[in-house]
Amino acid sequence: MATVFSGVQPSGDFHLGNYLGAFRNWVTAQHDNDAYFCVVDLHALTLEIDPADLRRRTLDAAVVLLAVGLDPEVVTLFVQSQVPEHSRLAWLLECTATMGELGRMTQFKEKSTGSESVRAGLFTYPVLMAADILLYDVDEVPVGDDQRQHLELTRDLAIRFNNRYGETFKVPRATIPKVGARVMDLQHPEAKMSKSVESPLGTVRILDDPDDIVRKVRRAVTDAGTTVEHDPAGKPGVSNLLELLAASTGVGVAEAADRYDAYGPLKQDVADAVVALLSPVRERALELRSDLGEVERILGAGATRAHEVAQRTYARAATAMGLVL
C-alpha cells in the first residue's frame, strides 16, 4: 500500500479549483492507500488572517473535506498545529534549505510582490510544507499544478538531507491530475482560481448555492470571436470552460470543443455539470456544520494517529543530525 499525503490551507472559502485539482483525487486515493490529509493552519499564518476567522475556517475546512467524501474511518484527517513535529522538523529542514532556492519559488514571488512587510514565514513556507510531507514517509502527494515546484523542492531537501546525514527520508513524488489541475478564474482566465484573491464573480465556491453557480458561469468572460476552440493561450476564457466541462463530466476536451458552435450552450452545460457535481457536497456540508463537536472529535483522533508516526520520523531526523534526544 502506498502512503499518500496532502494539505490545504484554511485561508478562505474553498473553490472549484480546490475540488477538481485536489479534493476529489484525495477521495479516490483514500481506499487503496494509507492516506493522510491535513488542514495546514500554520501555513495560513503567512498572510494576514483574523484569529477568529482562522479558528472558524479550520473547522470548516474539515467540514468540507468530510463533505466531499473523505471517510474518517479510513483516512487520517488532522490539523497541522496539533502535531508539533511539523514545526520541529521544519526547523531542521530550514537548516538544510538555502536562501537561494527559497528565493526562486514562484509562489513566494507572487505573494510577496507589492507587499511592504513580507513575513519571514512566507519565505520559509515551502520548507514547512516539505516537513509536512517528509514526516509520513510519503510516496505520493496529490496536488494541483501550482504545487509542482514546491514538490520538487521537497524532493531536493530529502535527497540532500539523506546524502548529508544518512538515509532518513523517503523521497515523495507529486501526482497531478490530467484534467482540472489548473482551474482558472472565470473573470480573469489568465490567473488561477484562488481563495486568497478577491474575485467574487470569478470564483465558484464549493458551497455556493446552485443559482450563484449558474450566474457566475453565465457571466464568465469569454474571448473575442465566436468559435469554440481549445486554445489556452489565444482563448483562455473558452478554454477554461471546456476544461471545466471535461473535468466535471469525463468527456475529452477536444470532443467537448467539437460539440459547440456558440458560447451560450457551452456555458449552460458547464453550469449544469458543475451544479450536479457540487450540490451533494453542499448538502452534506450543511448537515455536518450542525455538529461541529463530532468534527472536532474526528480531528482529535486524526492528530493522535498522525502524532505517533510523526514522532518516530522526527526522532530519526534529529538523531541523524546529532541532536541529543
Residues serving a catalytic function are: 111, 192, 195
- Which span (62-70, 181-189, 215-223, 316-324) binds ligand ATP, by CB under 6 A? 181-189
The yes or no reply on residue 132 touching ligand LTN (CB under 6 A) is: yes
State the binding partner of 172 from ligand ATP, ligand LTN, none, CB within 5 to 8 A by kind: none
The yes or no reply on residue 154 touching ligand ATP (CB under 6 A) is: no
* Integer Cα distance of 63 and 40 in angstroms: 14
The yes or no reply on residue 6 touching ligand LTN (CB under 6 A) is: yes
Nearest residue to ligand ATP on Cβ basis: 21
Looking at the chain, list the stretches that DSSP marks H as alpha helix, in order from N- to C-terminal side: 16-18, 24-29, 41-44, 51-68, 85-94, 99-103, 106-112, 120-134, 148-165, 210-218, 236-249, 253-259, 263-288, 292-321
Query: Which residue of 16, 77, 92, 141 would you call a contact of ligand LTN, by CB under 6 A?
Result: 141
The yes or no reply on residue 193 touching ligand ATP (CB under 6 A) is: yes
Nearer of residues 46 and 96 to ligand ATP, judged by Cβ = 46
The yes or no reply on residue 152 touching ligand ATP (CB under 6 A) is: no
The yes or no reply on residue 17 touching ligand ATP (CB under 6 A) is: yes
Give just the sign of the alpha carbon dihedral 236, 237, 242, 245.
positive
The yes or no reply on residue 195 touching ligand LTN (CB under 6 A) is: no
Between 148-165 and 120-134, two packed helices, what is the crossing angle to 10 degrees? 70
Residues 53, 270: contact at Cβ < 8 Å?
A: no
Please work out, in degrees rounded to the nearest 5, the angle formed at the alpha carbon of residue 318 by the alpha carbons of 314 and 322: 170
User: What mask, x for binding ligand LTN by CB under 6 A, covers residues 41 to 70?
Assistant: --x---------------------------
Between 263-288 and 51-68, two packed helices, what is the crossing angle to 10 degrees? 110
User: Which parts of this chain interact with ligand LTN (CB under 6 A)?
Assistant: 5-7, 9, 40, 43, 129, 132-133, 141, 143, 147, 150
